Amino acid sequence: MQSKISDIMDIATSRSLTYQQKLFNLANVAERLLDPREVLGYTDTEMMYIENEMICDLNEGYTLYRPRYIVPDYYVLLSKGCDFLGLKPPIDLDELLDSLLILYRHIPSITSFPVFVGDLDKLMEPFITEEEKDYIKIKRFLNHIDKAIPDSFCHGDIGPEKTRAGELILRAAIELENPTPNMTLRYDKDKTSKDFALKAVDACLRVSKPSFSNDKKYCKDMGDHRLVSCYNALPHGGGAYTLPRLRLGTIVKGVKSLEELLKDRLPKVTKAMATMMDKRIRFLVEESNFFQTSFLVKEGYIKRENFSAMFGMVGLADAVNYILEVEGLEETFGTSKRGDEIGHSILTVIQDVANSHEGIYSERTNNRYLLHAQVGASLSEEDSCNTPAHRIKVGQEPILPLHIRQAVPFHEYFVSGTGDLFAFDETYLNKPDAVLDIIEGAFSLGGRYITTYLHNTDLIRVTGYLVKKSEARKAGEGNAVLRDTDILGHGTNSIANVFERRLRKDEE
């Protein structure tokens, strides 16, 4: 969306933005002042889809001067150091962590903060000597990232193999309870040792990180990749030029049938997004001089040939619910068999259009732009009718077992990333092996990425007897029945989740 001159004054005089936020926002306004028809050569039709909000360009701007996401190969620092910053290859943990923090300051991205901070465990492992002393350093380093990179898209990876550094990182993450950096364990049951995986599950339940990626699947689809930003799977030593997204909940408005959506409207909008992406990438590669001037390229941290682009979508649930209503069904996406059919038919059309489009400067991914289940943003009123990615609308989710079975088949489309959030009740805190069973089950069915978190219910199912929903409900309401004793009864996962529905919140 283009910006207005008046935006400058609004930002400059805002009471709710910090100095740094004002600076970045003003830069962003500047990028969007120019008309993309003139700068990038958007057609009137393409522009119409931006203006009617069917396509959202996430305010990336029209004078692209750096890729949206950069995934540096930080191992270059270990072998060569960095000439541009005058850094020699580190010789101990102190030097490594210091050099990394310096480097982070110079990694561009759409937010101006690094979206990938490296394979934290593997970078540190060669320098681990005395675990307790090193632990203090690692913890301080992670805390520094949290305070100096105030951006929740900053992401570090660990695994798949267990390392001493990996264990220290998990320990520090639990102790710090910081939101940043985001973290993923690249999980492969044949490479990740069980005890390390269980520690990661425990951390995930306690502090909502790390998340779990299906490393086997992503390696097969993407080769050498890393998990960055929210849960984006992107080529290592490269990244993604751009990420616009289809607002399916907006695109669907006014169609008379599923057929009209699939045969007419959706292919038109989707094709327009692909051609816009071409124009954006062309400017970045051919006009901006980013790849000609960045020290990251010159010194081998990234290669232009390792970049691709992401084909985003949001609002599948809203589009499906609209069609279900058109078809006269009183069902909603997430608990409707027909709804899932409609959902898959929509994504198949998008996938077909994306896969038949010959992209540019994306040789790393066979000149194809990669589907991405975008997590959502609030940039417009339209975003309130576009549920993140292919997720079920909050309040319409089925119980956990059904939810997982519904969600996993949708992961298949999204080669450059998707993720589901599943809340577990407190009984799982002492049973990380049960959580791991569920994660492995999801991955065996082709699931790509799972985030779990603990939902604090007061309902604990102590042992193998049944819980009555009516009792659980009383407990959920804090009824006096529970205050009679401090030895509380129970709840079940399935029942707890019934109550969780209204409580569950998506990130961002």
Partner 1 sequence: MKNKGFINKIIPFSNVDGPGNRLAIFFQGCNINCVYCHNSETINQCIHCMDCVVNCPTGAIKAWEGKIIYDEKRCTECDQCIRTCKHSASPRIKEYSVEELYEIIEGYHPFIRGITVSGGEPTLQADFIIELFKRVKTLGLSCFVDTNGFFDTEQIKELIHVTDKFMIDIKAIDKIEALCGCQMKNNLENLQYLLSLHKVYEVRTVIALDYIDVENTLCKVAHSLKHYPEVLYKLIPLHITGLNAQQKAKIQGKIPSKEYMEALKEKVEKLGVKEVEINSFSTR
484 lines the binding site for partner 1 (CB under 8 A): yes
Q: DSSP labels for 133-185?
A: HHHHHHHHHHHHHHHHS--TT-EEEE-SS--HHHHHHHHHHHHH--S-SEEEE
**Over 323-379, what HEC string results?**
HHHHCCCCCCCCCCHHHHHHHHHHHHHHHHHHHHCCCCCCHHHCCCCEEEECCCCCC
Q: Give me the least distance between CB of 65 and partner 1, in Å please.
A: 46
Is the Cβ of residue 166 or residue 334 nearer to partner 1 in the bound state? Answer: 334
Q: Do residues 158 and 119 touch, judged by C-beta distance below 8 A? A: yes
The C-alpha atoms of residue 396 and residue 400 are separated, in whole angstroms, by: 12
The C-alpha atoms of residue 474 and residue 469 are separated, in whole angstroms, by: 9
Q: Do residues 414 and 371 touch, judged by C-beta distance below 8 A? A: yes
Q: Give me the least distance between CB of 44 and partner 1, in Å please.
A: 49
H or E segment to which residue 271 belongs: helix 266-282
The C-alpha atoms of residue 18 and residue 98 are separated, in whole angstroms, by: 26
Is the Cβ of residue 382 or residue 426 nearer to partner 1 in the bound state? Answer: 426
Q: Using the rule CB under 8 A, which residue among 50, 210, 482, 500 binds partner 1?
A: 482
Q: Do residues 419 and 231 touch, judged by C-beta distance below 8 A? A: yes
481 lines the binding site for partner 1 (CB under 8 A): yes
Is the Cβ of residue 150 or residue 489 nearer to partner 1 in the bound state? Answer: 489
Q: Give me the least distance between CB of 466 and partner 1, in Å please.
A: 5
Q: Using the rule CB under 8 A, which residue among 34, 458, 501, 507 binds partner 1?
A: 458
Is the Cβ of residue 182 or residue 492 nearer to partner 1 in the bound state? Answer: 492
Return the exposure string of 317-355: e unless at least 16 CB atoms fall within 10 Å of the residue's CB, then b. Answer: bbbbbbbbebeeeebbbbbbeebbebbbbbbebbbebbe
Amino acid, res. 107:
I
Provide the CA 434 distance to its chain's centre, in angstroms.
25
Q: Give me the least distance between CB of 488 and partner 1, in Å please.
A: 5
- Count of CB atoms situated within 10 Å of the CB of 358: 10
The C-alpha atoms of residue 412 and residue 350 are separated, in whole angstroms, by: 13
Q: Using the rule CB under 8 A, which residue among 107, 310, 400, 450 binds partner 1?
A: 400
Is the Cβ of residue 91 or residue 480 nearer to partner 1 in the bound state? Answer: 480
407 lines the binding site for partner 1 (CB under 8 A): no
492 lines the binding site for partner 1 (CB under 8 A): yes
Q: Give me the least distance between CB of 83 and partner 1, in Å please.
A: 50
Q: Using the rule CB under 8 A, which residue among 431, 454, 501, 507 binds partner 1?
A: 431
Q: Cβ contacts of residue 442 below 8 Å, gap of 6+?
A: 404, 408, 450
437 lines the binding site for partner 1 (CB under 8 A): yes
Q: Which of residues 28-47 bind partner 1 (CB under 8 A)?
A: none
Q: Using the rule CB under 8 A, which residue among 286, 356, 434, 502 binds partner 1?
A: 434
Q: Give me the least distance between CB of 471 and partner 1, in Å please.
A: 5
Return the exposure string of 267-286: e unless at least 16 CB atoms fall within 10 Å of the residue's CB, then b. Answer: eebbbbbbebbbbbbbbbbe
The C-alpha atoms of residue 102 and residue 89 are separated, in whole angstroms, by: 13
Site string for partner 1, 246-265 (x = CB under 8 A): --------------------
Residue that is written with structure tokens 């982070």 in the block: 104
The C-alpha atoms of residue 466 and residue 472 are separated, in whole angstroms, by: 11
Is the Cβ of residue 291 or residue 410 nearer to partner 1 in the bound state? Answer: 410
Q: Give me the least distance between CB of 360 and partner 1, in Å please.
A: 40
190 lines the binding site for partner 1 (CB under 8 A): no
Q: Using the rule CB under 8 A, which residue among 467, 476, 499, 500 binds partner 1?
A: 467
Q: Using the rule CB under 8 A, which residue among 30, 102, 198, 460 binds partner 1?
A: 460
201 lines the binding site for partner 1 (CB under 8 A): no
Q: Give me the least distance between CB of 333 and partner 1, in Å please.
A: 19
Q: Residue 423: how many CA atoms within 13 Å on its side-chain side?
A: 23
Is the Cβ of residue 158 or residue 438 nearer to partner 1 in the bound state? Answer: 438
Q: Give me the least distance between CB of 340 and partner 1, in Å please.
A: 14
Question: How many residues form the binding site for partner 1 (CB under 8 A)?
Answer: 49
Choose the stretch contacting partner 1; rule: CB under 8 A; options: 114-122, 185-193, 345-353, 486-494.
486-494
Choose the stretch contacting partner 1; rule: CB under 8 A; options: 114-122, 131-139, 298-306, 424-432.
424-432
Q: Residue 483: how many CA atoms within 13 Å on its side-chain side?
A: 4
Q: Cβ contacts of residue 119 below 8 Å, gap of 6+?
A: 74, 156, 157, 158, 226
466 lines the binding site for partner 1 (CB under 8 A): yes
Is the Cβ of residue 79 or residue 485 nearer to partner 1 in the bound state? Answer: 485
Which residues make up the interface to partner 1 (CB under 8 A)? 399-402, 404-405, 426-428, 431, 433-438, 440-442, 444-445, 456, 458, 460-471, 475, 481-490, 492-494
